[in-house]
Amino acid sequence: MDSSPESAHSDSPFDELNEKCAVFGIYNHSEAGNLTYLGLYALQHRGQEGCGIATMDNGRMIIRKGEGLVSEFFRESVISELKGRSAIGHNRYSTAGSDSQRISSRFPPTSATPRWPSSTTEI
């Protein structure tokens, strides 16, 4: 049996380096929203079509999302709304389908029950 790297074959999506989207999160920090903004800004090269951040503040989810660059959408007034000690953010790099705002971030438009967003986007 040949054990050389050339003979190894896998269909795993992790076999190759990819630059698709970015996900960044902070847990249990008073500046979670702001730090998540900074994390997405640092990862801007991973997706420039859309961005979104969701924070959790006393059981209430706050969601802000939009099209374009992190620095263009998340102005200081938007960042100041992201209260809470937990946050998760996403930069979108489309790999299939439309780049419309509807799918720019996989956050639900509203949520009666606090829950974290999920994504079907390739990461």
Asked whether 71 and 41 are in contact (CB, 8 A), the reply is yes
- Catalytic residue among 4, 19, 21, 36, which? 21
Our CA angle for 88, 40, 46, nearest 5°, is: 115
Residue 21 appears among annotated catalytic residues: yes
Q: CB 79: neighbour CB atoms within 10 A? A: 16
Secondary-structure percent of the chain, ordered helix, strand, coil, rounded to 5 = 20, 25, 55
Q: Which residues does the annotation mark as catalytic? A: 21
